[in-house]
Amino acid sequence: MISRFAGALICLCAILLFGCEQHSNTETPALQLSENQTAAPTDVVQIAVTGMTCQNCADSISKTVTNLNGVSSCELTFDSKIATVTYDPAVVTPEVVTASITAMKYGAELAKPTAEATP
């Protein structure tokens, strides 16, 4: 019984150690757009988030928002309480993003743009 277990353990270690050569040395090809394709336009919105009690809350919100169709990134920290979301306006709206945060039982409101200093 022990010898079968040891043999299986050795085989498993060998598989994990050496892996598949075909997959381990290949590089992921870079995404290239053809002349007829263009990158999707993106917009950035800032959303004030309330009700978070720790960084885990912020991480959970970021993950949920990033998983929305049309959202390419969401940066949010517990300290800032402002989510910076990059999204494709043809696919998703800031209101949908805000609604996804409020569905998680947090407060969310589009941040007011800061006034730029005029010369």
> Residues for the chain: how many in total?
119
Evaluated on CA atoms 85, 86, 92, 94, the torsion sign reads positive
Tokens 């947090």, located at residue = 106
The residue with tokens 């969310």 is 108
What is the reported pTM? 0.63
27-44 pLDDT, tens digit per residue, is 434 445 445 545 678 999
Quick one: pLDDT at residue 56? 96
| CATH code for the part of the protein at 43-110 | 3.30.70.100
Nearest to 99 by CA among 49, 55, 52: 49
Q: What pLDDT sits at residue 35?
A: 52
